[in-house]
Amino acid sequence: MPHVRTRRLEALVLALLAEPMDLEALHARLKPLFPTLRRERLFGLLVRLKREGKVAFSGGRFFSVGSDGPRG
């Protein structure tokens, strides 16, 4: 994936993760915009964003660090 496309995907992921979401739900939301996106690549992006402190994981769901986090 070219750099610009990766940055666009990253921005969309962070925007969508304002609401906690599991990997499957996030992939389903992104698939229409990125038809060739595989869950493995999305998971890799989420791991990188977690390492950078932009995304957190709790209760089986990912969420952006600036959001309210997981809700019961």
Residue 1 has pLDDT above 70, yes or no: no
Domains of the chain, CATH where assigned: 3-64 (1.10.10)
pTM (2 d.p.): 0.85
Measure Cα distances from 40 to 37, 67, 69, 70, 71 in Å: 8, 24, 23, 23, 26
pLDDT tens, position by position, 6-64: 899 999 999 999 999 999 999 999 999 999 999 999 999 999 999 999 999 999 999 99
pLDDT tens, position by position, 58-71: 999 999 997 666 65
The pLDDT, as a whole number, for residue 5 is: 85
